[in-house]
Amino acid sequence: MIDQSIFLRALRKENNEVPPIWYMRQAGRYLPEYQKIRRGYKNFLDMCKEPKICAELALQPIERFDLDASILFSDILTIPDAFDLGLAFHEGEGPKFSNPISHPADISKLKGFEIEKLSYVYKAVEETKKILPSNLPLIGFCGSPWTLAAYSIEGGGSKDFAKTKKFISEHPQAAKDYLEIMTDACFQYLKQQVLCGVNALQIFDSWADLLNPNDLETYSLIFTRKLAKKLKEDLVTSNIPIILFEKAPQKDISDIAFDDLSCISLHWSESIQVIAAKLKNRFTLQGNLNPSFLLESDEVIQAETQKICNAMQNFPGFIFNLGHGITPDIKPEKVQVMIDAVRA
């Protein structure tokens, strides 16, 4: 029974003899089998629009490492792309929007979220469920409303997101209007993923670190809480556990956590032991090895992995993960060292 998987047990704060392990970007560029498929596509987005390929990519790290959960292979920017903002991935540059949100008038021109435009994502969920082991949970996900807004106002990735910060400073109400639109779209998107078979949901607030504590509340957390509330109030999604990943927020994570969440996923810059003591078993905790340790010797990887596992051994509801996505320069053999250390 999938409900008895150690990953879902951990999300219910039940004890496991060994913590479950999965990690962010586990299907990705560090795997030679991924690279082999990727070379067949000129554009990353084209690959994301092939449901059977997405399913195959999601399965690769499961087959190689026997991980305890799979995550949908997709991209967080599918939602703004559905609003016809002209998303494209340029080699070596990352995502770019040719039609970004530059003025408040751009927001009022937006058509409503057309859920069927992302049918390729839902089909990817269905195809992935078909080929995963029947007892292995599948995680669905979206970017937080703030992260999606930041990318689509900026026009892509950026070191400082100066355009986005200028926009929210000069047009605070328009920014909030846009965030409401993103919140509703995220809800519909995640609900459809659940209808297609995902067993848990993760919200990635990848640009939480851009905002000071007041702005983090005003432009990010309010909308993430609204999204989680919508999910908990809907009959389709009410029983699906929600995981929140805040990237290095300028606010104590124990002040960010709220009751609709099942799990807090921690950035590597935070002390999981300190957070565990503050949250007092209210939530499952996930994390949070610094991915850069996977570039070190086997002994360092083992020591740092065991440090986290030892700190959390008496904590009901712990999922081992990286504190950010795995990077392309990491060798799969080093990942195996980490996994073996978790399961030792």
Beta strands in 166-299 (DSSP E): 200-205, 242-246, 263-265, 284-289
Q: Among residues 75, 209, 215, 234, which one is catalytic?
A: 75
Q: Among residues 38, 64, 282, 343, which one is catalytic?
A: 38
Compute, in degrees rounded to 10, the torsion defined by CA atoms 310, 290, 74, 217. Answer: 90
* 267 Cβ contact list (under 8 Å, min separation 6): 245, 246, 247, 248, 249, 287, 288, 323, 324
**φ/ψ (deg, to 5) at 238:** -60, -30
Q: Among residues 29, 64, 282, 343, which one is catalytic?
A: 29
68 is known as an active-site residue: no
Rg (CA), the chain: 19
29 is known as an active-site residue: yes
Q: Among residues 23, 30, 151, 189, which one is catalytic?
A: 151
* Strand, helix or coil for residue 317: coil
Q: What is the rounded distance in angstroms from the CA atom of residue 26 to the CA atom of residue 10? A: 19
Q: The tokens of 191 are what?
A: 């609900």
Q: Among residues 25, 64, 282, 343, which one is catalytic?
A: 25
Q: Establish whether the linkage from the previous residue to 199 is cis, with ω within 30° of 0.
A: no
The distance of Cα 44 from the centroid of its chain, to the nearest Å, equals 18
Q: What is the DSSP string of 266-294?
A: PPTTS-HHHHHHHHTTSSEEEEEE-GGGG
Task: Provide the terminal-to-terminal Cα distance of the chain, rounded to the nearest Å.
Answer: 25
38 is known as an active-site residue: yes
75 is known as an active-site residue: yes
Name the residue type at position 77. Answer: L
Torsion sign (Cα): 311, 307, 284, 245: positive
151 is known as an active-site residue: yes
Work out the angle between the directed axes of helices 51-65 and 119-131 (0-180°, nearest 10). 40
Question: Do strands 70-71 and 138-143 pair parallel, antiparallel, or not at all (unpaired)?
Answer: parallel
| CB of 301 closer than 8 Å to CB of 336 | no
* Residues labelled catalytic: 25, 29, 38, 75, 151
